[in-house]
Homo-oligomer: A and B are copies of this chain.
């Protein structure tokens, strides 16, 4: 599982405050802790206030990029914020999170993804919101794949988020998501899948339990990348165990290494 570490997200109050204070040490520590916990990408989300996002995202990239070995995932739907941040970005690899299956989002973001050779997350969501059947979501998947091809971006660079809707609003949402998850690489083998899985438990009690159970199910249905808090030890434990059980962890080495490094819950 590709782990995209989600903690540096300015829609969270503590992050917002540290960002306003320009607290360099705070962000360096947050980024390093997530890398040490196993992150493959550090997600940076500078909030959604258009007036500040351009400057804030660039500042976050400047502060974090030289403090970790892993690449960054720039989490914004604002093409200007992405462009400015990418101008000063110095690492080889980068991920852009995200565009939707809407023409204006495609036109604004895909040229940037193409020119910077970024991996890019596409959301299975159009102008009409999130479709409520596997078939309708797959139609938006088709739009996303056609979009990257139009911009001569390889399918290998595309990660599709089939979008998690809380199971508390509709008990069929978990299964609907998982079934879409299976269909995407069946239809487009080079395309990977990604999700921010914690939305599944919105409105339910004991959210973290539900999130880690969902992690196990996502591994079972072949999710490639997860936007998560890598410091959540119980979540990662279920991820490692599920990967070993699904045969996608050769000789269970990932599980056994995590055990030896005392990363696993009992």
Contact = CB atoms under 8 A, between A and B. Distances in A.
Interface of A: 167-168, 171-175, 178, 200, 204-206, 208-210, 212-214, 216-217, 219-221, 237-238, 241-242, 244-247, 249-252, 255-256, 259, 264-266
A241 B210 contact: yes
Nearest to A241: B213
Q: How many copies of this chain does the complex contain?
A: 2
Given A216-B217, A242-B216, A242-B217, A206 B171 contact: no
A234 B246 CA distance: 20
A209 B221 contact: no
Q: Which of the listed residues A174, A214, A241 has the most CB atoms from chain B within 10 Å of its own CB?
A: A241
A245 B264 contact: no
A208 B247 contact: no
Residue of A219, A244, A249, A266 contacting most chain B CB atoms (<10 Å): A244
B216 A178 contact: no
Nearest to A253: B171
Contacts of A251: 171
Nearest to A208: B266
Given A175-B246, A217-B220, A220-B221, 16 more contacts: A167-B244, A171-B249, A174-B245, A178-B220, A205-B256, A205-B264, A206-B237, A206-B264, A210-B241, A210-B244, A210-B255, A213-B216, A214-B241, A216-B216, A217-B245, A217-B246
